[in-house]
Amino acid sequence: MLGSYRAELLKLRKRSAVWVLFGAGLVLSLIFGYLLPYLGYATGDDNPETTGVPRSEILHGMLPERVLDNTIGGYPIFAGALALVLGAIVIGGEYNWGTLKTVLTQRPGRGTVLGAQFLALGTMIVLWVLGIFTACMLCSVGIAAAEDGSMAWPTIGALLKGLAGGWLVLMMWCLAGAVLAVAFRNVALPIGLGVVWILGIETLLAGVVSSLLPSLKWLANLLPGTNAGSLVFAVTGMSTTDAPPGVRDAVTGTRALLTLLVYCATFAAVATWTTRHRDVT
């Protein structure tokens, strides 16, 4: 397992697509977390989009105290979609290129290879979370210094809890992409289905249930995106009025945590079982 894990890390480090996806997530976080709000703050008196919103409130959302909100607020939808693409290209690429057969002839078993890939993906997600947090932290400090804002920070415990929750959300979506890649032995179809689900279908289902079928609310509360958004809402403590798309208090934080863990375990188990019991060609 250790040798396979090192090999998978090497492959991830040298794949440009991995860093392009990370860069996309980083840029989205900075644009929606800092650039657009700062432009709204700087042009508050002349910007019709910020009419009625105190400039001090806009500034407060960019200060170090709210760094967690800006770091993981986009994880349930936008960064989650990128994580799903990551899982799909890493696992599905082995089928597209026909390299999985070659890897399996070198000695490692199917379960070992897949487990090493999951560990490598989990490690890469850690780097994603820490990288985005670092960039958001620097932006928060820069804006606070430039605008003479507060330098108060969340507690270490709150930061660790928030970053761990963000990692779990991204890892769940990454494993979703992986299990789809194993199921279809491809890259394009898992990416298409997964991204459409995250960005469209689940949001539509939640809206229909909320407005037309309230008796099925229990079903909507089982969806992965709903629980991802609820976990982010719980660990950040943001208000419903400030929450970005996909982040809401549909279920409690504890329930969301347990549900996401069940999803991760299920996706990993299904992918492992399918890989072991089906032809890889």
In 3D space, the residue among 163, 171, 153, 138 whose CA is nearest the CA of residue 232 turns out to be 163
pLDDT value of position 52: 57
The sign of the torsion formed by the CA atoms of 201, 206, 212, 214 equals positive
Task: Name the one residue in this structure whose structure tokens are 């894990």.
Answer: 5
Q: How far apart are CA 269 and CA 52, in angstroms?
A: 51
Neighbours of 244 (CB within 10 A): 20
Question: Structure pTM?
Answer: 0.91
Q: How far apart are CA 62 and CA 41, in angstroms?
A: 10
Task: Name the one residue in this structure whose structure tokens are 């985005």.
Answer: 132
Hey, where are the domains in the chain?
2-277
> Any residues with CB less than 8 A from the CB of 190 and at least 6 apart, and which?
88, 92, 177, 180, 181, 183, 184
Q: How far apart are CA 41 and CA 110, in angstroms?
A: 54
pLDDT value of position 237: 82
Label each residue of 6-31 as H, E or C: HHHHHHHHHCHHHHHHHHHHHHHHHH
Mean pLDDT by 10 residues, the chain (281 residues): 87 92 94 89 63 74 91 91 94 83 80 92 96 95 91 92 96 95 90 89 77 76 91 87 82 94 96 85 63
